[in-house]
Amino acid sequence: MHYVVTGAAGFIGANLVKALNERGVSDIIAVDNLTRADKFLNLTDCEIADFIDKREFLELIESGHFDGSIEAILHQGACSDTMETDGRYMMDNNYRYSLALLDFCSEQDVPLLYASSASVYGGGSVFREDREFEAPLNVYGYSKFLFDQIVRRRLPEAQSQVAGFRYFNVYGPREQHKGRMASVAFHHFNQYRADGKVKLFDAYGGYDSGEQRRDFVYVGDVVRANMEFLESRRSGIYNLGTGRAQSFNELAAATVNACRALENQPAQSVAELVAQGIIEYIPFPEALKGKYQSFTEADLAQLRRAGYKQSFAPVEEGVAEYVKWLAR
């Protein structure tokens, strides 16, 4: 029996493949699109049984090729570019593809764990898994939102596990291929190494410079939650963040101080870093106005009610671990 990870060469997908390996699982079918070939580097230290292009995999699923041979599908594959304007591509890639996998898993009684997104909440201030708080600001968020609605309607009669995770701002190893869509922590590390400073947005949305706040969650914590749900077979749609918003200033300081620690230099406060020009503020981009979440914070009540008790690392801990990985 095969475990399937879609988006397997991507950020979270590759970390899930590695986590399965660490649990003794190597009979893994890695599904992805290698149009950007450099993503293969995420899998060079992983053990898999086969690699299949995402379109070929869908054809094989629909032809019955994998009937009775799949243990579970961890569906992470998607276009995650929030600036993508081709709505037809986004809906086909994120919504229709996910729907085909859901149909297959329902018919085959196969667990489906999939990636949703905190983008479904749009510019709201309440991040709870209720329809009244969901209003995405872009077509990426809408593609995730629409699939969640299908899952909600099917869950009461579902015979197999269906678990969706609304990822907040995930950062950590194996995201280097994402370019401008990589996490702020990744960009801060590279900015500091190249220029000795990091750049943050100036005041916007009622927040002072660098004080916009997000729920930054370390990828190791995201993977651990997926693995526990895979074992428990619990269904539902859950927020997956730390449950506490931290400012971009805090994230920047955590990144700089983790780099300084590698050089045996003492940590400095945000105020000290700003005074020295190590944290620099730049004008807020016109293209993001009206499409930007200035605040996110996962409500973890539903996740905790489902029995998930693990803690989540604050940026000071998660970023320190990540910087050590980046500096290898």
Active site residues: 140, 178
Task: For residues 227 and 223, give the distance between their C-alpha atoms in angstroms, rounded to a whole number.
Answer: 6
- Tell me the C-alpha to C-alpha distance, in Å, between residue 167 and each of 94, 229, 285, 290, 310: 15, 15, 24, 21, 16
Phi first, then psi, for residue 269 (nearest 5°) are -80, 170
Residues belonging to the chain = 328
Strand partners, 113: 74, 163
Residue 138, exposed/middle/buried by CB under 10 A (0-12, 13-18, 19+)?
Answer: middle
Using CA of residue 266, residue 249, residue 311, residue 223, what is the dihedral sign? negative
Cα dihedral 196, 176, 219, 301 in deg (nearest 10): 90
